Chain A
Amino acid sequence: MLKLLVTVVSVVAAVGTFTALWVGANLVFDQANRSFGRFSAIVGGFVGFVFFGVLHGNRLVTHAGGLEATRDALTFGSAREPVTFFADIVALLWWGAPGALIGAAVAYALSRQEDPKPRLMIGVGAGVVVGLIVAFIFKSAVTPGLRPVPLLAWTAAVGALGGLWSQLRSKRLLPTVATFLGIGVVLGGVGSADLGAGSLIESIIATVVPGALFGFALGSTSHPDSVRRTVIEQKSRAWIFMGPAVLFISSALVIPGIITLILSIRDDDGDRFVGLDNYSRVVRVGGEWNSDNFDLSHWTDFFGSRLLWFGLPLLLIGLLVAALDGRRTGRAADWTPQSGLVAAAGITFLVFGVFSVLRGTVFNNLWWVFTVTVFSTAIGLAVAAWSDGAKGERFAKSIIFMPMAISFVGASVIWRFMYRSQNIQKSQTGTLNAIWAWLGAKTSGAAPTRGDAPDYDPDAYGNLGIGIFDLEFFSFPAKWLFVGIFAALAILCVWRMLVAAQVHGLGGLVGWGVAALIPAYLAYRTASEGIGGYLVQDDGTVVPSPITFLETGPFNNFWLMVVLLWIESGFAMVILSAAIKAVPDDYIEAAKIDGANDSQVFWRIVIPQIAPTIGVVVTTIIVRVTKVYDIVKVMTGGNFDTDVLANRMIDESFQFQNWGVGAALAIILFLSVLPVMVLNIRRMQKEAAV
């Protein structure tokens, strides 16, 4: 019951406070013109309240005096949660009230004083008093032991910055420099001191000096005349409207971000400043690359990689065809969709080749970004373009969009079942391995057919339950059925190539030519040794040989990416489909009247029209992929060389409590997403401007 009460009270209080703040702030700023003294007192009181409220919550100052005593008095020694909650509120008020009084008094005094000299005195006096208070309530464990060198260095550096700032923004020199000097003293005096080693005198120096400096800056402001007051009133309205948003963003995003940044330059317990040590630990350890993040040891394998020897010829063929086509039109290279796709396939193979030999979280992350971004955009675009206006478009798109509705964790669990492998003595229950083992059993030629083994039990070799493929009816080895299918596909491709050859140049047929090689190879392979997962044991029996998708590197990374691909393709498709439908029909009609075929309309009209949308899709996906975490966590836990930055960050921080390295990884992740975010926002602003 008490908990319920606390919840209700907090909600009512929060809503009430914000309403009151908002209405109150409007009323307060109305006062700026009417009664400047009252206005100053209210604003000053508010600032004082917030400052002391923050002090009360700060771990640097003693709790023995204010908070703890109040809390004990109010809770009668019992530390039960609801009572503590109310006690905390009262303690906050208890601390805030004197702050509010000081603030109000100083501001009121200033509003009543127009001469510069007394104003200065009031300002400096108030600064010294506040500084003294802070010095006296420092916890003994954190009294700053001043270190002259950093103190002077910080003060000088930040002070100089202040001078520069005042010149650049044409502010008054002295107050600006004073403010900056004050910040410098705080940074040098408290920020980089030996906490706990100091005496009361040192605390006083570290707080009174900046207090006086800030007071000086405050006191040297001139008394505003009625024009300035009107400006204050009007400018303030903007802050009133922005206030809540700024408050939420800073408490939920900016402040934690800054704390993370601070953590990342301190040691793993957060006690000691270590500079960029954590960042360098991410990259190099003991004079060598940190093999968790950058494992370069297998780079020579690249030259033996099959991906290289597939990718390079494809890229060369694409380039060659483009160059040949270019000779006809007089350009250096004239790309057709087909030569472009062949070259793109070559590049993809090469990139995969590179990432399959460069291991570690950073390269894994880059591999993720490349694969998921390129493939999901391409798949999304292809589906959107092909389905546009086709029969059953809605149904097909719904199916492809469906995975978007599934959480990453849910999708990972689903795909774990897809990838599951089973001991070779058992029938495979993972979907993909069941198909793989079934293919193997049927095409290896070792499985008996119905003709030569009348008591043949199809279940023994992985039965998919699809009658004709499970040899219920055939008396010839099933492998020839597969050979026939693949051969037919190859012939189809060749036929399309020959048809294309009569119309277009090389650039119109090279894609079909390359595509024909795949079924041709499969047909050959099936005819010779078979495809699929099978293993012939010593006694001649065939058992399934499953693929351990998630455990065998380096392509287990790719199988994880497929999960995200499955999700993001739907996203890309929906956005791109909307963009394609928004391309004005006039353009397309005009192009068709000019004699463009479908392919030309797509590549020359539709694509340039939807280019900005493609940009949005690509950047959105890049941001999402860079932060990928859930899928890796659920499917491999980062084992088997599949770790990524986000998972590493969580492990370092929350598993091993290496807060420094964890925070450094978080910052690195943030910085790598930042440029893309900036790009995205820039474009959005540009579009809004148009």
Chain B
Amino acid sequence: MRTSRWKALLSLLFAFSLVAAACSGDESSEGSETASADLAGTEVIITGPERSEQEVGAIQAAMDIFAEENEMTITYTGSADWESEVNVQVEAGNPPDISIFPQPGKLADFYRDGSLQALPDDVVSTVDEYWTDAWTVFGNVDGTQVGVPVKTDIKSLVWYKPAAFEAGGYEIPTTFDEFVALAEQMIADGETPLCVGIESGDATGWPFTDWVEEMMLRFEGVEVYDQWVNHEIPFNDERVVAQMQAVLDLWNTDGMVYADGGTIASTAFQANGTPLVEGDCMMHRQASFFSNQFDEGTVFADGSEDAVDVFYFPSNEGAPVLGAGTLAAGFRDAPEVYAVLNYMASGDYANNRQQAQRELNGGDLSGFLTANSGVDLDSYAPLEQSMISSLTGADVVRFDASDLMPSDVGAGTFWSEGTAAVNGEQDAQEAADKIEASWPA
């Protein structure tokens, strides 16, 4: 009896010592090597929302060049549901190595909750070398550079057909008032001035938010715009409501809008290219990336009868530019990840991607704009050269407000309540009140 009790106690002690041994192996390796490590054999996975054949092909092609030099593997996957997928992946502790963010707000959220890595100094200096403050600021979270700008789009553009303007004797407007007067003239002449459509699957309503942002920049100025984005003034501030209502009123003017799907809310945003080319409408305000949405064979700014061109969406005062773009940031703290981010910040990446994307797009427009100072302007078609110079030269650039707001609003109610307003279910005041109510505390 006595021996068995001792046996039991001894075995307990033995077990305890084993566990203690298991726990004591602390702090053996602090494994954060410097970026100069050999990258051979490593693998980096990148995800992002860019998913068209050309975009994916061009990003992958640009990555392959870098990967081959370093004998590593880089895979880019674009997904229509990137937004919710990345949330789930991060939440599950299984994020990609790098993601390409179209929304600085989302990037900041991920950095603040500790998912994203701050850029090491050598990458930051590369970013500073190739990008101006106007753009790097969007990847800066509370004073720390987290994101690498990789692509920039200009939203303040109006697509039109020079031949149709010539036939009607129309001049390109230089102020917003002229723009409205021109539209009214077109209606009087029996033409439909604008093509508008805001249907876009999960993201239905975003073209409406773009319009509101343009109007905010043009009529309330940069300061109010920033206050609005940062929620220093409520969303249902009378100035915001007024601009929302102004957009609705403009669209609801008799004969103003050609909506391919019957109503603006049922017209896909992609479906506005064909009517413009076919002459169903005269103008379409949409970002630079819209060049991807025109039918195959559309020619741009070459002076021919069917060519499509753009002009700056005019302002009564100054020339503010509404921009957008994507930023890359790393989830994994590893030298190969930083090496790839460093490459993405550089002019090499911009040039490689531009060449690949232009080729994939048939040799004319590439649809890939960048304010990267290292990019070779000559590799662009004339139309895109002018877009880039207005991007790099703009004094006031503001990022798409809905991309900066919390996703409950920027990717939620601003879209959905805006859509309901466009669909005539409510007016601007009601929509703004509901959006304000949804702003997370």
**Which residues of chain A have a CB within 8 Å of any CB of chain B?**
52, 62, 64-66, 69-70, 72-73, 77, 79-80, 94-95, 97-99, 101-102, 104-106, 108-109, 112-113, 118, 122, 125-126, 129, 133, 136-137, 268, 285-286, 291, 420-426, 546, 548, 550-551, 553, 633, 637-641, 650-651, 654-658
Contacts and interface: CB of A to CB of B under 8 A. Distances in A.
6 contacts: A69-B25, A77-B33, A136-B23, A548-B266, A551-B265, A640-B423
A656 B437 CA distance: 15
B434 A291 contact: yes
A112 B412 contact: no
B34 interface: no
A92 to B, nearest CB: 12
B26 A64 contact: yes
B259 A641 contact: no
Contacts of A657: 87, 407
Given A72-B28, A98-B22, A108-B8, A639 B15 contact: no
A105 B14 contact: yes
A80 B337 CA distance: 13
Interface of B: 4-5, 7-9, 11-12, 14-16, 18-20, 22-29, 31, 33, 42-43, 83-84, 87-88, 201-202, 204-205, 258-263, 265-266, 275, 280, 332, 334, 407-408, 411-412, 416, 419-420, 423, 425, 434, 437, 440
B25 A105 contact: no
A551 B423 CA distance: 7
A159 B262 CA distance: 67
B12 A106 contact: yes
Contacts of B437: 285-286
Given A79-B334, A637-B201, A73 B14 contact: no
Contact of B19 (A98, A106, A285, A423): A98
B26 A112 contact: no
Top 7 nearest A-B pairs (CB, nearest first) are A109-B8, A105-B11, A421-B262, A102-B15, A654-B84, A65-B23, A77-B31
Contacts of B19: 52, 98-99, 102, 133
Nearest to A133: B19
B14 A80 contact: no
B263 A102 contact: no
A65 B11 contact: no
Contacts of A102: 12, 15-16, 19
A64 B33 CA distance: 19
Given A79-B332, A105-B11, A421-B261, 10 more contacts: A101-B15, A106-B12, A109-B5, A109-B11, A125-B12, A137-B23, A548-B261, A640-B425, A655-B83, A658-B408
B85 to A, nearest CB: 8
Contacts of A65: 22-26
| Main SS at interface, chain B | helix
A639 B419 contact: yes
A62 B19 CA distance: 13
Contacts of B258: 423, 425
B12 A105 contact: yes
A62 to B, nearest CB: 8
Contacts of B26: 64-65, 69
B22 A655 contact: no
A640 B11 contact: no
A52 B260 CA distance: 63
Contacts of B87: 654-655, 657
Contact of A651 (B33, B42, B334, B412): B412
A101 B14 contact: yes
Nearest to A70: B25
B45 to A, nearest CB: 10
B96 to A, nearest CB: 12
A94 B16 contact: no
Contacts of A66: 22-23, 25
Nearest to A52: B19
A358 B46 CA distance: 46
A141 to B, nearest CB: 12
Given A285-B437, A640-B420, A98 B18 contact: yes
Contacts of A122: 8
Contacts of A422: 260-262
A655 B5 contact: no
A169 to B, nearest CB: 31
A102 B12 CA distance: 6
Nearest to B263: A548
A330 B110 CA distance: 75
B8 A112 contact: yes
A72 B31 contact: yes
Contacts of B23: 62, 65-66, 133, 136-137
A671 B58 CA distance: 49
B109 to A, nearest CB: 8
Contacts of B9: 109, 125
Given A102-B15, A113-B4, A657-B87, A95 B407 contact: no
Nearest to A66: B22
B25 A423 contact: no
A639 B204 contact: yes
Given A423-B258, A424-B262, A639-B204, A112 B4 contact: yes
B280 A423 contact: yes
Nearest to A80: B43
A237 B407 CA distance: 53
Contacts of B16: 102, 129, 133
A423 B260 contact: yes
A291 B258 CA distance: 32
B5 A118 contact: yes
A262 to B, nearest CB: 15
A422 B29 CA distance: 65
A181 B324 CA distance: 59
A637 B263 CA distance: 17
A270 to B, nearest CB: 10
A641 B425 contact: yes
A98 B15 contact: yes
B72 to A, nearest CB: 12
A267 to B, nearest CB: 11
Nearest to A423: B260
Contacts of A106: 8, 12
A421 B407 CA distance: 31
Nearest to A41: B11
Given A69-B26, A97-B18, A118-B5, A126 B412 contact: no
A655 B416 CA distance: 13
Contact of A655 (B43, B411, B419): B411
B356 to A, nearest CB: 28
B407 to A, nearest CB: 5
A423 B407 CA distance: 33
Of listed B23, B42, B88, residue having the most chain A CB within 10 A: B23
Contact of B407 (A118, A291, A655): A655
Nearest to B205: A639
A556 to B, nearest CB: 10
Nearest to A114: B1
Contacts of B407: 655-657
Nearest to B408: A656
A658 B423 CA distance: 27
A423 to B, nearest CB: 5
A65 B25 CA distance: 5
B437 to A, nearest CB: 7
Nearest to A291: B434
Contacts of B201: 637
Contacts of A98: 15, 18-19, 22
Nearest to A62: B23
A268 B263 CA distance: 37
Nearest to B93: A59
Contacts of B5: 109, 113, 118
Contacts of B419: 639-640
A125 B434 CA distance: 61
Contacts of B261: 420-423, 548
Contacts of B11: 101, 104-105, 108-109
Contact of A109 (B7, B31, B202, B266): B7
